[in-house]
Amino acid sequence: NAGVTQTPKFRILKIGQSMTLQCTQDMNHNYMYWYRQDPGMGLKLIYYSVGAGITDKGEVPNGYNVSRSTTEDFPLRLELAAPSQTSVYFCASRGQVNTEAFFGQGTRLTVV
Amino acid sequence: AQTVTQSQPEMSVQEAETVTLSCTYDTSESNYYLFWYKQPPSRQMILVIRQEAYKQQNATENRFSVNFQKAAKSFSLKISDSQLGDTAMYFCASYNQGGKLIFGQGTELSVKP
């Protein structure tokens, strides 16, 4: 099992550019999450999904969009990159109640 | 509102000693779940221990145990016989039936030889 796969691992964007962070899981998990982690800080929830076709805002959704057309994929879209979006982004998935969340390896994004 | 708070940004402990990391939470749900995750310098997120709110017994996993005080909404992690490999960021997290998984700010633990 590959688990949760995020691409790319690193990316440098210019201010105003757009990009999509990809996240795929092969565990047939219903729940998927996107977090950002600033240096020395905790994980802030951006968006989450409880199943295909259903998404909801987390703690810091501004500047981001998501979609969940399949169970496996949960891409995160940045439309107009800003320096404040420089961070490490983590995707995670979880199965039924009480199971642990599995995380991708993270994407380090720098906006210059 | 669902919140998780860790009030200790940094802690240190001597190897082989015991350390306790604090976490408080708030939720309006009656059924929820609590977790401690470890993040070493590799950035990988590793589950340390989990607790179901409806279970009164405190969870234990080898050298790791929790002190779950439901009325006080407190969920502390005790690490016994600390090892150098325990050096990492530790995050407390909670999720409720709505599916939202929220993390605290983290505590950076250093185990000194």
Residue range(s) defining the domain that contains residue A23: 4-96
Strand segments, DSSP code E, in chain A are 4-7, 10-13, 19-25, 31-37, 43-51, 54-57, 64-66, 76-78, 87-94, 101-103, 107-111
* CB nearest to A106's CB, from B43, B99, B100: B43
Q: How many inter-chain contacts (A to B, CB under 8 Å) are there?
A: 53
Report pLDDT for A1. Answer: 62
- Put simply, the answer to whether A45 touches B103 (Cβ < 8 Å) is yes
Q: Could you tell me the CATH number of the domain that includes residue A55? A: 2.60.40.10
Predicted confidence at residue A97, as pLDDT, reads 64
pLDDT band at B79; cut points 50, 70, 90: very high
pLDDT of the residue at A60? 95
List chain A residues with CB under 8 Å of B35: 100-101
Residue B55: predicted pLDDT: 86
How confident is residue B1, by pLDDT bands cut at 50, 70 and 90?
Answer: confident
Instruction: Give the model's pLDDT for residue B71.
Output: 92
Whole-number average pLDDT of chain A: 94
Is the pLDDT higher at B96 or at A89? A89
Full set of structural domains in chain B with CATH: 3-112 (2.60.40.10)
- The answer to whether position A72 is within a domain reads yes
pLDDT tens-digit profile of A70-89?
999 999 999 899 999 999 99
Q: What is the pLDDT of residues A9-31, one digit of tens each?
A: 999 999 999 999 999 999 999 99
Residue A111 located in a structural domain: no
Structural domain tally of chain A? 1
A50-60: per-residue pLDDT in tens?
999 999 999 99
Q: Tell me whether B5 touches chain A (CB under 8 Å).
A: no
Q: What is the pLDDT of residue B98?
A: 79
Are the Cβ atoms of B44 and A103 closer than 8 angstroms? yes
Structure tokens at B2: 């669902």
With tokens 């929790």, the residue in question is B66
Which residue of chain B comes nearest to A103, CA vs CA?
A: B45
Set of chain B residues whose Cβ sits within 8 Å of the Cβ of A36: none
- Return all residues near B63 (Cβ < 8 A) that are at least 6 apart: B79, B80, B81, B83
- Chain segment B14-58, per-residue pLDDT in tens: 999 999 999 999 988 888 899 999 999 999 999 999 998 888 889
d(CA A15, CA B73): 42
Residue A109 within a domain: no
Q: Per mean pLDDT, which of A38-47, A91-100, A103-112 is the most reliable?
A: A103-112
Residue A77 makes CB contacts below 8 A (sequence gap 6+) with A18, A19, A20, A21, A64, A65, A66, A67
Q: What is the mean pLDDT of residues B60-89?
A: 96
Q: What distance separates the 2 farthest-apart alpha carbons in chain A?
A: 40
For position B97, what pLDDT does the model report? 73
